[in-house]
Chains A and B, each alone.
Chain A
């Protein structure tokens, strides 16, 4: 797929993985290519459904299929879940700037809630290109029922998985930001994070204080187009010049030190 291609593809599979969270899967058409961290705008090709597209990070690309991990939060994300297999969905993408994949001995991924989405593909790619590297996932949810089971990804893609819940119903009690101590300050670690704004803001401070320099966050904002035209997805810029950047063009993967949290 050329950058920014527009395709209407039939939905091949919907798989529920936890409360409200599911995979939307498609057959990869000829020439399909994207990198971890890229996103696609998914929308209905027919009028009448939710009007705007939704930006979704590529969740995984494996074999002849690719998919998106989605949490039903109302509107389009709930509507996608109701679609029968075979339903046409318009996909615009890949869009945005993906994760850089520096050569490091340790890759630390930090996910809050549906911020888990981009890390399957990132881990899969790093596993292939840096087979000796250790890949760690720290994954937090509010409660146990929201936790997505990682199945064979645990072990195959992630060497270590540490789980957290706000209420302590699964894994350690607390947030992922509380569970970094053993790795903070490791100069060999590259950091990747995705999750709610408050989590990312706290994590940015934590990593900054620890002197981590190799840090990439995948952010989320409301957007209507996904390719720089609607100007909706502004991220306040720490330097102030320019005042805002567009997440769809400069992101969604950003260095948190460039963001005015």
Chain B
């Protein structure tokens, strides 16, 4: 794409600010039937554990007002199968698009184990960064406890940091009273950046059956319904930690949604649930951002954090590229 869309998020040089979010993009090759992977600034793989997981019983999804609940249960092929079957194919397709592998474990020690596997296989996998999923709300003994309790959270991030020199982005849960201390903790432990937000806890009840719809009862809420929540936390984290790189996530469906995250302070965004409904969501958002930048004669980098300039006269920077 064009230079006005180029951005950097910490150590990641991105051709554009649109990434595909974990859990909504398979391992990178699932959308090849619709458009080329190389269009994206980057993508994040489905959460990988050391061992494969079958995931939760059905039903696993439910539609809500402007969104959906899921309780997939982190079904994944396991690290070995990813390295053997998925990574080579995806690397052949991705061009300049950055690959971020998302990892998790059922306890802080397992985060260290999976990070050590990523480090050991990094020359084969050729990923550009690791995203640490401490905040998936579906696994009883895992993500939720870790992502919502600062002690375990710190322990998990520390173990990942000790195991790999790859850039680390910690994906933060919104299911806490304040996300900022978790972002601060991630930065303290040496993470290069944060991704926020993951899904919000939610439940839907079938009033005829008088029982929860999802097989596991509760699940994670995503989609346009959570857009303001994600924008809020990105804004707050940016205000508290202006130097910390941020990947903004949560409910992005249109290019204007993406722009909200960028203006709140994210250097780049991840598009998730929207891709289920509109497989062209990522390229559509990219095209919209490009048109907007062209019409305003600005570059994406110039609008990052723009909404923080409250009270200042907003001067539109001139794009000269």
Contact = CB atoms under 8 A, between A and B. Distances in A.
Contacts of B36: none
Contact of A51 (B58, B64, B275, B279): B64
Contacts of A53: 276-277
A150 interface: no
A4 B55 contact: no
Nearest to B52: A242
A51 B63 contact: yes
Contact of B30 (A51, A222, A228, A243): A228
A231 B72 contact: yes
Interface residues of A, number: 32
A245 B38 CA distance: 29
Contact of B68 (A43, A51, A221): A51
B223 interface: yes
Interface of A is mostly: loop
Interface of B is mostly: loop
A45 B281 CA distance: 11
Interface in B38-58: 54-55, 57-58
B58 A234 contact: yes
A75 B62 CA distance: 11
B216 interface: no
Given A4-B34, A51-B66, A222-B61, A229 B276 contact: yes
A47 interface: yes
A221 B60 CA distance: 10
Contact of A224 (B55, B61, B224, B254): B61
Interface in A127-183: none
Interface residues of B, number: 35
Interface string A210-236: 000000000001111101111110100
B25 interface: yes
Given A222-B61, A229-B24, A232-B60, A244 B277 contact: no
Contacts of B61: 52, 222-224, 230, 232
A15 B276 CA distance: 29
Q: Which of A75, A76, A234 has the most CB of B within 10 A?
A: A234
Contacts of B288: none
Nearest to B67: A51
B276 A52 contact: yes
Given A48-B66, A225-B277, A232-B70, 13 more contacts: A4-B34, A47-B224, A51-B66, A52-B68, A90-B278, A225-B276, A225-B279, A227-B33, A227-B279, A229-B25, A229-B30, A234-B57, A242-B54
Interface of A: 2-4, 6, 41, 43, 45, 47-48, 50-53, 75-76, 90, 92, 221-225, 227-232, 234, 242-244
